[in-house]
Amino acid sequence: MNAKTPPIELIIFDLDGTLVDSRFDLCDGVNYALEKLGLPRRISYEEVTPMLGSGLSYLLEAATGATDKTVLQQARLHFDDYYGRYYAHKTRPYPGVVETLAALSHLKKAVFSNKAQAFTTGIIRELQLEPYFDRVLGAQPERYALKPDPAGIRFILSELNTRPENALMAGDSTHDLEAAQAAGIRCCAVTYGYRPAEVLAEMRPDFSIRRFDELPGLLGV
């Protein structure tokens, strides 16, 4: 970043596929719901990956193949029953996350996920990442829409008193990049997560990283 570029004061991070690898617990929760529904299908950890990033409703629709609201409501209840107990059982931070967040201690940092608020804050707490963040926001549809809508990013900017030109969103999903661009902030594609690098490149992000620990050097901070 050159001297004419406004400095980054705030980094907003996606959670799943960016800070933590959560696909194993998510997949186990989905398979628990499928079993409880009496459906014969089970999905593998590899199969669940492209289903992630668009919120739980999409995940359950994709996994069950159902459109009936009653079936999906039951799937959600079964999933929540399992995931509420095991959301941090197999979920772990990606390599370099803890060390890099510590190195970025001089910047404001937030989490913004399409995962339910209780699960988002629970994972951050259980993995002992709370000290690194000024705000941790999950899905709260009564307050703001899910990504790719920019409302949640604007909410964080207001809460942390930061101008759009001084903020950056880092995420592994096109939804993250779309939300950032719509909010008028810079974005960094994370290519080690749940979306292929070539798909993210089509969004023309300002930055791209293959490892989390590349972030400080990329930003020059």
The rounded distance, in Å, linking the Cα atoms of 130 and 14 is 14
Angle subtended at Cα 67 by Cα 66 and Cα 73, rounded to the nearest 5 degrees: 80
3 state SS of 59: helix
Largest CA distance in the chain: 60
Q: How far is CA 4 from the centre of its chain?
A: 30
The answer to whether 206 is a known catalytic residue is no
Indicate which residue of 14, 28, 172, 176 is catalytic: 14
Choose among 124, 98, 93: nearest CA to 110.
124
Residue where the block lists tokens 């979306």: 195
Choose among 194, 202, 196: nearest CA to 51.
194
The residues that are catalytic are 14
